[in-house]
Chain A
Amino acid sequence: MTHPTTFGAGWLNRLALAFTAAVLLTVGAGAALANEEVLNLQDDHSMWVMPNQNYAGWNYSELDRINRHNVDNLRVAWAFQTGVLDSHEAQPLVIGSTMYVLTPKPNTLYALDLTRQGFIKWSFAPEMDTERAGSLACCGAQTRGMMYAEGKILFNTLDGQLFAVNANDGSVAWDTQVADLDLGETTTTNPLVVGDNVIIGNEGGERGVRGWVAAYDLNSGEQQWKFYSTGPNEDMGIGERFNPFYADDQVEEPGVQSWYEDSWEHGGGTNWGYWTYDQDTNLFFYGTSNCAPWNPDYRRDPATAPGFDEYGNKYCASLLARDATSGELVWAYSVTPQDQWDFDEPGQNFLVDLEMDGEMRKTLVKPARNGFFYVFDRETGEILNEPFTYTSVNWASSIDLDTGRPVFNEETIAYTDVEIPICPFIAGNNWFNDAYSPRTGLVYFAAENRCSSLTPIEGEFTAGENYILMKFGQSHAGPGGYLGELQAWDPVTGEKAWGIKTQTSRNAFPVLATAGDLIFQGTDKGELRAVDARNGQVLWSFRTGSNFRNSPISYVGPDGKQYLAVISSQAPRDPEIGEDTEPEAEGRYRRAGSTLYVFSLP
């Protein structure tokens, strides 16, 4: 065992321990720019300081008291009702003996005392325009997380306010309006704190907003910089440091010349998923949302359509690497050039050092929403593997490693008023937390296997209104007849270690990995289950009767025991169950709910 397994009684002791470990880990790393406190805390696995546990996005806990030998003894220690009947997509945080829970709109932040089974220390419910934000924001209008740094909890309300709340008493340190609701912008992503920068982005790709990222000062809330995903170089933070790997990106003004006329002004590329950050290079990484509108005929020249070489629509549905201090764009890659199928790329982009072709490389691992599994060099943006498909994919056959471009399938290229078949439908692997275990070397994620049809339609852009311009057909299971699969992949060899298929609904359940060689994930039958990380054997399950829209976290309680916490939740969309309902209908297993469960060994 190379990871800490002994813990002091007080969290200060643990902090000190972790600090020592962190210093050892970061020697020579040139980490002066990162937030030292957060760096220390992410290495203390008794706590949970940010979504996905660490800057590298592993969603992995080094705790192993709960492991594959004893997990069948896991039981509920206590529970907490949030009272908001909606999808909870923000993982709780644990700092010291306090757990922080952020509900969906209307957003309320709770501080729960872990020494007293979740006794509420304080709660903070900011004033917000829930009705308006809820009607603007896409996809259930959710809030995907918060982050702790220097005594503050940072989070966005759905209506575009950024809050820094003092973690000890819930008082507001500062707040600022960051998104413009009149443009259709909202905020759903979690903030990323690096050094004194609180980095966030906007949401609104379905309303033709222009995506951006911005940094606010951790101490004052003053805006430090703001850069767009599309448009002139100056707006995008493209300067001398911009050095993308592929020729398609080595052009004078990619954010303008890869768009038809002025279509970049409403081109999407928003930021609603997870961030990762690499302290060695001081780069942060993120995937941008869909291109807007979905109908690509508004973003390319109809004479030369599809014209992928000319109209790649940079940088929506793309992977971007920016300097975390200055915000400058350092490299970028169009994961799905001219995205015609709503393949945003909001997943968390694992940062892992891997031996590729016999050489240790600093990589970024991305099981992309478009159905391909990529391994990039995170310093340059070069693709290091032969990207392979992990689910049904019909829009491209492979990725050309010379150009970095997908080899497109003519049959699935979208044109106005032409219906096309598409797999995967919307996402092969959506934003839900993926996990990486350094013990098994495997990447774990919820793959979806759904196909449908899309028909682009015409329409006008109006600020703040829907700007999708796409009809879609009924989705159905892709080849193989299953709807989803929990998958375990070796990113080095490209081999699948194991998979567990889901049949009654798509697999949209976030994943946690632990050093107990366990994978925790919700199921299509309303259970939380523990799976052997090495072989996919199901070892334990507990039925909550609702859904799972954030992965569990794990932490060490004030009593020194390892705990597992997860919010089981679903918005009310409960179908009636009658005599003629299918025996395995998902509604028999899952209903609306919103309960935080905390599990431990006896």
Chain B
Amino acid sequence: MRFVLSSSAFLVLSLALVGAQEAGEATVQVAESESWGSHLTNAEGASLYLYLEDEGLEGESACAESCTRNWPPLTVDGEPVAGEGVDAELLGTLTRDDGSSQVTYGGWPLYTYARDTEPGHTKGQGLGRVFFLVSPAGEQVTEELVQEAPELDEEVMAQLMTEGERAFRNNCVVCHGAQGQGAIGPRLAGNSNVGGTAFLVQRIIIGFEAHGMPPFGHLSDEQIAAISTFVRNSWGNEFGAVTSEEVSNLR
């Protein structure tokens, strides 16, 4: 489903939503993102963005022509309606060159992003360091929330390390060296790249063919978690554990 709706289609959808849920008439709502916290969305839950190039343009939008294909303006017939958590005082509109009425918040014209195809997507966040999610206070969202790593008890960690060392010896030492010192493959000791969970796990699963590393996707989630944990916590590395659930999610 696309979020770029003509105003009449939008109206039909809004009316349909009124029947389905009471809050359906809100033009702007607040959603919670695990990574970015509270931010604004449109009625269907599509993330809304501000564009830094709009700063200082009173009642105008810097996003025109090809820009509106990537960043469809949030338009409204009549007055925008604030959903729960949205400050109605900050809502406003401006008139675009085509005569449509674009919703503003705290003075910022609001846009959706064409490649956010489902509610919850925030693919436009931070693009080009000019497009940002909008907080309920009307400010750009820039701080990514730190995800707390799950605490593993010592026994589980020790088991991952033991299994990891065995699996590393059987699969990895030829290229990366017994001490992770690197040989044909890159050095792993002191290599900050292994701190990126997704990067490391994906390299093991898919390989890095362009770099000469074959895939090891045939290993189990548990084995890959063990190897990852071992690599991230040996030879001076301290990057914490990787669980088999994380590996499974990255397949």
**Chain A residues within 8 Å of B, Cβ to Cβ:** 86-87, 131, 134-136, 138-141, 206, 260-261, 297, 300-305, 307, 342, 415-418, 426, 457-458, 465-466, 471-475, 571-573, 575
Contact = CB atoms under 8 A, between A and B. Distances in A.
A571 B184 contact: yes
A427 to B, nearest CB: 9
Interface in B121-137: 121, 123-124, 126-128, 130-131
Q: Which of A138, A305, A307, A572 has the most CB of B within 10 A?
A: A305
Contact of B53 (A136, A300, A303, A473): A303
B51 interface: yes
A140 B214 CA distance: 11
A349 B71 CA distance: 41
A260 B174 CA distance: 42
A465 B192 contact: yes
Nearest to A475: B209
Contacts of B181: 131
Contact of A474 (B53, B192, B198, B215): B215
9 contacts: A134-B186, A135-B182, A140-B184, A206-B211, A260-B128, A303-B66, A307-B66, A474-B206, A573-B175
Nearest to B122: A417
A457 B127 CA distance: 11
B211 A139 contact: yes
Contacts of B128: 260-261, 297, 300-303
A473 B205 CA distance: 10
Q: Is the interface of A mostly helix, strand, loop or mixed?
A: loop
Contacts of A418: 115, 123
Contact of A415 (B67, B115, B206, B217): B115
Given A131-B181, A572-B184, A415 B63 contact: no
A416 B127 contact: yes
B70 A302 contact: yes
Interface of B: 51, 53, 62-63, 66-67, 70-71, 115, 121, 123-124, 126-128, 130-131, 174-175, 181-184, 186-187, 191-193, 198-199, 202, 206, 209-212, 214-215, 217
Contacts of B70: 302-305
Which are the 4 A-B pairs with shortest beta-carbon distances?
A140-B212, A302-B128, A302-B127, A135-B186
Nearest to A418: B115
A476 to B, nearest CB: 12
A586 B104 CA distance: 60
A140 B66 CA distance: 41
Given A303-B71, A415-B123, A474-B206, A139 B212 contact: yes
A131 B183 CA distance: 7
Q: Which of B115, B123, B199, B209 has the most CB of A within 10 A?
A: B209
A304 B67 contact: yes
A574 B217 CA distance: 15
A426 B210 contact: yes
A83 to B, nearest CB: 15
A73 B181 CA distance: 47
Given A131-B181, A135-B187, A136-B186, 7 more contacts: A135-B182, A141-B212, A260-B128, A297-B127, A302-B70, A303-B71, A475-B209
A342 B210 contact: yes
B113 to A, nearest CB: 9
Contact of A139 (B53, B71, B210, B214): B210
Given A302-B127, A304-B67, A572-B175, A135 B191 contact: yes
A473 B207 CA distance: 9
A273 to B, nearest CB: 14
Given A86-B184, A426-B210, A474-B206, A302 B131 contact: yes
Given A416-B123, A571-B184, A573-B214, A302 B130 contact: yes
Given A303-B67, A415-B115, A571-B212, A134 B193 contact: no
A242 to B, nearest CB: 29
B214 A575 contact: yes
Contacts of B187: 131, 135
A571 B184 CA distance: 8
Nearest to B199: A466
A134 B210 CA distance: 14
A444 B239 CA distance: 49
A305 B63 CA distance: 12
A473 B202 CA distance: 9
Contacts of A87: 212
A303 B70 CA distance: 7
B199 to A, nearest CB: 8
Nearest to A416: B123
Contacts of B217: 474
A96 B113 CA distance: 66
A573 B115 CA distance: 39
Nearest to A571: B184
A87 B212 CA distance: 10
Contacts of B51: 303
A532 to B, nearest CB: 32
B161 to A, nearest CB: 24
A138 B210 CA distance: 7
Contacts of B123: 415-418
Nearest to B184: A571
Contacts of A473: 206
Contacts of B191: 135
A471 B66 CA distance: 27
B127 A140 contact: no
B217 to A, nearest CB: 7
A138 B126 CA distance: 29
Q: Which of B126, B183, B191, B217 has the most CB of A within 10 A?
A: B183
A66 B51 CA distance: 68
Nearest to A430: B210
Contacts of B67: 303-304
Q: Which of B62, B182, B192 has the most CB of A within 10 A?
A: B182
Nearest to B174: A572
A135 B175 CA distance: 11
A86 to B, nearest CB: 6
Nearest to A474: B206
Contacts of A131: 181-182, 187
B211 A472 contact: no
B212 A303 contact: no
Contacts of A474: 206, 215, 217
